[in-house]
Amino acid sequence: MSKTRLLHGQGLGAVRGERVLFRDVSVSAHSGELILLRGANGSGKTTLLRQLAGLSETQAGTIERAGLHHWIGHTNGLKAHETPRSHLRHWAKVWGSKRDVGAILKGIGLARPANVPCRMLSAGQKRRTALARLALDDRKLWLLDEPFNALDTDGQELLAQRIEAHRAAGGAVIAALHGASPIEADIEVAL
Amino acid sequence: MTAAPLHSAFRSSASEAWASGAGLLLPLGFFAGTATMVPFTLGSEAELLSRVGPGILWLALALSSMVTLERVFQADLQDGALDLWLQDAGSISLIAAIKTLTHWLVSGFPLVLLTPLIGFMLGVPSEKMVPAMLGYAMGGLVFFLWGGVAAALSASVSRAGLLIALIALPLYVPALIFGVQMVESGIDSPSFLFLSACTLFALGVAPAAMGAALRLAAE
């Protein structure tokens, strides 16, 4: 399998106030790879991920992107009044996806609470709703910030399987993770 | 960029406006309540009321625009929806414009429809009613657009209401001046053209300003 480069960040750096969070970090994601950003709380994992996603300005270095990516931040992007179904329908429309939202909800274990407003869902159910967005649109690169947070054992297994399947299909994943990883990484970037 | 994201942005912000607070009823109640207070504070002489009536309605419109805009972008920033919108490059200005225009449609435009009733109550002469409604529609658009810019700038501030007022009120002034004059002197006056110019300027500039402010807020 030929390895296409999906994202390349070179010499990245970030400053918070007067403190240098990290400097001269390079991240390169090729198809099939899982890259974990590791580091203690406050070491800049989220900042680096946001820079890679184009949400924060880079304070040093350059980033080249090959195409669109999926973003799952530490916030889920859900509105209190939305239901998992209406949330997925909304983003399916925005992204021009024709996928069957009902099947996606069933696949991620949200068939039962599909029509319950998010303010009444548990933290894990909200996380599953956010992760369900990954199935709406085929994008080669996934950027995930603490994706396993709030998930139960089942959910963690499910997400690990999804990540493996995505890599097998030629995608790449960059994830920020502070705890023990349920998945084996190709590359670890320590901050 | 196709129309689909804009359409979904419209639908989601309409349902959001509806779900947050009483939707339509809140600004309408605020508008009507403010106007009803006037006879109690200024006295109930018919001549005085018919003279200050249109001006009072302008004030009520300006204030009610800010009441509804406080949470427009702040909620998006806090729940992470803004990050998702920012992913699909370049469109954030348009999305922000659609969001504010939706809020104008949901809570600004109904005030225009309520104007004849309140105007009648305050004894505004009937020949001034049509210019007044047109003025409130256009002026309201200006208020909501600049209010949206202020809301985007203060999205990361926890108690943004007062800050929005400080930023937006000076920007309301030109539309307010020409709007009040237009109600006095009718549709075929230069004030109408100046008010139109204010509206077009806000339509052209405010979306870009909102987009830039939101990018900054997401940092």
CATH number of the domain enclosing A40: 3.40.50.300
Cα distance from B201 to chain A (closest Cα, Å)? 28
Residues A148-157: contacts with CB under 8 Å, at least 24 apart: A148/A177, A148/A179, A148/A182, A149/A74, A150/A123, A150/A124, A150/A126, A151/A124, A151/A127, A152/A124, A154/A109, A155/A109, A155/A124, A155/A127, A155/A128, A156/A182, A157/A182
Residue A81 and residue A53 in one domain: no
**Mean pLDDT, rounded, for B150-157:** 92
Distance CA B43, CA A38 (A): 70
Distance CA B159, CA B12 (A): 24
pLDDT in the model for residue B22: 52
Residue A57 and residue A107 in one domain: no
pLDDT in the model for residue B149: 96
Residue A5 and residue A60 in one domain: yes
Cα distance from A75 to chain B (closest Cα, Å)? 5
pLDDT-based confidence at B24, cuts 50/70/90? Answer: low
Residue A116 and residue A144 in one domain: no
Residue A98 and residue A80 in one domain: yes
Of A76, A78, A81, the CB nearest to B15: A81
Residue A146 and residue A55 in one domain: yes
Per-domain residue ranges of chain B: 3-218
pLDDT in the model for residue A2: 61
pLDDT at B125 exceeding the cut of 90? no
- Residue A55: domain span: 1-67+140-191
**Domain boundary at A137, A158, A183, which?**
A137
pLDDT in the model for residue A17: 84
pLDDT-based confidence at A72, cuts 50/70/90? Answer: very high
**Mean pLDDT, rounded, for A157-167:** 94
Q: Look up the ipTM and state it.
A: 0.89
Residue A50 and residue A107 in one domain: no
Contacts of A86 in chain B (CB under 8 A): 15
**Domain boundary at A137, A152, A170, which?**
A137
pLDDT in the model for residue A130: 95
CA atoms lying within 13 Å on the CB side of residue B54? 26
**Mean pLDDT, rounded, for A94-110:** 92
Domains contained in chain A, number: 2
- Report the residue of chain B nearest A142, measured CA to CA: B87
pLDDT in the model for residue B3: 80
Residue A118 and residue A174 in one domain: no
- Report the residue of chain B nearest A79, measured CA to CA: B79
Residue A2 and residue A59 in one domain: yes
Residue A150 and residue A100 in one domain: no
pLDDT in the model for residue B23: 62
Supply the DSSP symbol for A98. Answer: -
pLDDT-based confidence at A116, cuts 50/70/90? Answer: very high
Report yes or no: A67 at the B interface, CB cutoff 8 Å.
no
pLDDT-based confidence at A146, cuts 50/70/90? Answer: very high
Residue A99 and residue A145 in one domain: no
Report yes or no: A16 at the B interface, CB cutoff 8 Å.
no
pLDDT in the model for residue B168: 93
pLDDT at A185 exceeding the cut of 70? yes
The residue with greater pLDDT, A180 or B210, is B210
Report yes or no: B219 at the A interface, CB cutoff 8 Å.
yes
**Mean pLDDT, rounded, for A101-107:** 94
pLDDT in the model for residue B46: 85
**Mean pLDDT, rounded, for B57-83:** 86
Residues 6+ apart with CB under 8 A from A126: A76, A78, A118, A150
Report yes or no: A56 at the B interface, CB cutoff 8 Å.
yes
pLDDT-based confidence at B193, cuts 50/70/90? Answer: very high
pLDDT in the model for residue A113: 93
Cα distance from B80 to chain A (closest Cα, Å)? 4
pLDDT in the model for residue A156: 93
Report yes or no: B216 at the A interface, CB cutoff 8 Å.
no
